[in-house]
Amino acid sequence: MVSTLYSLYFSCSYSHPLSLQSRRLSVPLSFKTPTVPLSFKNTHRFIKSAISDQYHEKDERNEISGTLGEKENQGTMPKHVAIILDGNRRWAKKNGFTISEGHEAGCRKAWEMTMDFFSVGINTVSLFAFSTENWRRPEDEVNYLMDILEIFFKIGIHHAPRQKIKVSVIGNRENIPMSLRDVILEVEEATKSYEGKHLIMALDYSGRFDILQACKSLAEKAKTGLIQVEDIDEKLMEKELMTKCSEFPNPDLLIRTSGEQRISNFFLWQSAYTELYFPTVQWPEFGKAEYLEALTWYQQRQRRFGRRI
């Protein structure tokens, strides 16, 4: 079943998810009959194809980067963009696809948009890939999401080092499959030394849990005498949060697609002064025009941080 994700990822490139309706991919989207055997040889071929696609899109990204550069006088670019990837299932239902096909389209879009954000100089991109609350979904859907995430990180092992992208995963890893944990550790180890481009994947992540585990860690350190209670401040707290892996732990811009206007237990501490942007498009529909609009909107904001301007 999971081999079909390779088919979606590494068949012909498309600029807009709705093009799935207008023209067929080179490999059929089928979940009953895998069209490509899940082998190292095929995996290597598909990854090589994906890297080639990235190079073909380089000129287009440079053009968009120049467009944004012309508008930099209106405001600064965000250093950290966080995204809640919402609307895969609704997009699939609206366009006559299965839920699995919706998640596949969303997964491909996640990689494409991450590359686009890096191309305009953004340092950190955080993706809310799977929340703790998502375990409540049907078991077959959860299992498929775990399969998709495992393949996403297997792709990352090959592709991220070529692009010098540091990959980090935050969240509770106790409940995810062992095979997924292993590939996460592998990609994190392979990319830990890179700087300038940082992809953070939030997997089984809860903002409340993040704050709770940080408080417990500080309480334990105070109990054992490593710190004094009087020493606890925001800086110490932030050193215990899961985003301590980032040079820029607090997002400047948080995007949630599909029109829902809430952050759903994502980065509760970190988003205290984050600009919140809620486009109405579903995540698989979020393309270059939408991300350009989001960045332009951010540049026009006046970030006061409590000060009078």
276 vs 301: CA distance, rounded Å: 11
In this prediction, residue 74 carries a pLDDT of 43
The yes-or-no verdict on residue 53 having pLDDT over 80 is no
Q: Is 261 exposed, middle or buried (0-12, 13-18, 19+ CB in 10 A)?
A: exposed
**Residue located via tokens 């050193």:** 239
In this prediction, residue 163 carries a pLDDT of 92
Instruction: Answer for the pair 64, 30: CB distance below 8 angstroms, yes or no.
Output: no
In this prediction, residue 175 carries a pLDDT of 94
3-state helix, strand, coil in the chain (%, to 5): 55, 10, 35
In this prediction, residue 308 carries a pLDDT of 61
Which residues neighbour 209 within 8 Å (Cβ) at sequence distance 6 or greater? 132, 172
Least confident of 138-152, 235-249, 253-267, 291-305: 291-305
% of the chain with per-residue pLDDT over 70: 73
In this prediction, residue 215 carries a pLDDT of 97
In this prediction, residue 158 carries a pLDDT of 85
Catalytic site positions: 86
In this prediction, residue 24 carries a pLDDT of 29
The yes-or-no verdict on residue 80 having pLDDT over 60 is yes
In this prediction, residue 72 carries a pLDDT of 39
249 vs 269: CA distance, rounded Å: 10
Q: What is the pLDDT of residues 251-284, one digit of tens each?
A: 999 999 999 999 999 999 999 999 999 999 999 9
Instruction: Answer for the pair 128, 85: CB distance below 8 angstroms, yes or no.
Output: yes
In this prediction, residue 159 carries a pLDDT of 87
The yes-or-no verdict on residue 68 having pLDDT over 60 is no
Strands 80-84 and 253-256: parallel
The yes-or-no verdict on residue 286 having pLDDT over 50 is yes
Region 165-190 average pLDDT: 96
The pLDDT-based confidence of 204 (bands split at 50, 70, 90) is: very high
CB atoms within 10 A of CB 69: 12
In this prediction, residue 231 carries a pLDDT of 94
> Model-level pTM?
0.78
